[in-house]
Amino acid sequence: MFNFPFSKLSLLLLAVTGLSLTSCGDDDDILGIDTDDDGTLFMSSNTSGALSILDVDDENGTIMSFPTEGTDADGIYYDGELNNIFQVDRAGDNSRIVEYDNVFEALDDANDLDVERVSPSTFDNGRGLAELNDQFVVANDGDDMNYFATFRLMDDSIDSTATYMVNFNVWGIQFVGSSLYAVVDNSDSVAVFDNFLSNTPGDTLEPTRYIQIENVTRTHGLQYNAEDDIMLLTDIGDANSDSDGAIVVIESFSALGTATTVPANRYARITGDATMLGNPVDVEYDAENNMIYVAERANGGGRLLSFGADATGNATPVMMGMVDGISSLYFYRD
């Protein structure tokens, strides 16, 4: 059983259009969103120029959005202490990290949105964004230039600190302790870089190890939750198909130790026509409600989907919301 507001519905359709602003009441701190207590999901778009927010514990289930600087955005991170959002802005020739202040006030009035700090443009095709102790890593995915660009949050700036080349295409990334877990795009594997931030700037990095996931076609998003010891990976399958995607759910992930292969009988797989999974590009997890959230990019032009953590096979989403161009997720619960 899952303590989730939409669990009694077979499907909840939520519509988000471009730059529209929608309030779900004022019973919580700001427009129904109480970031001190509630789980909050933040969503980037690489087409609409809108940043979307969902209070997952609000029974109304309303997705709210507001316009941002970049019409092509990807990796996203919310800092609960600063109450600011950091986002990879891929638009134009000046790809950068943009920090937004007064985010929740902007839901009520878009004119309240402030750009606090902006990083230098040291990457050109940023995808995933990871944070550790006021340091950021952007995964840059290119035909011939695949690398991690790192930055440090200073008092008045976001400073570039290093670039680390890698010999494979990259996408989703996440710190697990001091180790950086990175999707090896165009493959069935994840790379692990232990003590990532201790590397010498400018080095070409070799992973500490690769983890191959059996029967996966092409990984994109990953999310590890230590509380439930669960690793989630997305499989987009054929990038030209909007119906062959999958979510891999690996429970008791730490029990794998230093294994370099995860056999198919060691994980659950959510896939099939009822799932609406085509190109799931990112994934997040709510440990309190045991819910999986998925950024599905191909099906319908962009959908937010959710599944219970015990879902398997051709499962119907617990929730489905239209989010144009959805590209990246970040889940926050205080």
Question: Over the chain, what HEC string results?
Answer: CCCCCCCCCCCCEEECCCCCCCCCCCCCCECCECCCCCCEEEEEECCCCEEEEEECCCCCCCEEEEECCCCCEEEEEEECCCCEEEEEECCCCCCEEEEEECHHHHHHCHHHCEEEEECCCCCCCEEEEEEECCEEEEEECCCCCCEEEEEEECCCCEEEEEEEECCCCEEEEEEECCEEEEEECCCCEEEEECCHHHCCCCCECCCCEEEEECCCCCEEEEEEECCCCEEEEEECCCCCCCCCCEEEEEECHHHHCCCCEECHHHCEEEECHHHCCCCEEEEEEECCCCEEEEEECCHHHCEEEEEECCCCECCCCCEEEECCCEEEEEEECC
pLDDT in tens, 69-87: 878 999 999 998 888 999 9
Distance CA 163, CA 136 (A): 12
Question: Do the strands 246-251 and 268-271 form a parallel or antiparallel pair, or are they unpaired?
Answer: antiparallel
- Other C-beta atoms closer than 10 Å to the C-beta of 154 total 10
- Residues sharing a CB contact under 8 Å with residue 33, sequence separation 6 or more, in sequence order: 40, 53, 55, 58, 64, 104, 107
Q: What is the pLDDT of residues 263-286, one digit of tens each?
A: 999 999 999 999 999 999 999 999
Cα–Cα dist 99/85, whole Å: 6
- Residue pair 30/104 in contact (Cβ under 8 Å)? The answer is yes
In the predicted model, what is the mean pLDDT of the chain?
87
Buried (b) or exposed (e) across 56-75, using 16+ Cβ within 10 A? bbbeebbbbbbbbbbbbbbb
Model pTM score: 0.89
pLDDT at 287 over 90: yes
In 3D, which of 51, 72, 79, 73 has the Cα closest to residue 153?
A: 79
The tens digit of pLDDT for each residue in 99-154 reads 998 777 766 665 667 899 999 999 999 999 999 999 999 999 987 789 999 999 99
pLDDT single digits (tens) 207-257? 999 999 999 999 999 999 999 999 999 999 999 999 999 999 999 999 999
Nearest to 15 by CA among 62, 53, 51: 62
Query: In order of start, what are the domains of the chain with their CATH numbers?
Result: 13-332 (2.120.10.30)
The model's pLDDT over 29-51, given as tens digits with 9 standing for 90+, comes to 444 445 555 799 999 999 999 99
Please choose, from the candidates 92, 100, 108, 88, the residue with its C-alpha nearest in 3D space to the C-alpha of residue 33: 108
- Give yes or no for a contact between 49 and 92, defined as CB atoms under 8 angstroms apart: no
Q: Rounded CA gap, 321 and 315, in Å?
A: 16
* Separation CA 276–CA 221 (nearest Å): 17
Rg of the chain taking only CA atoms, in angstroms? 19
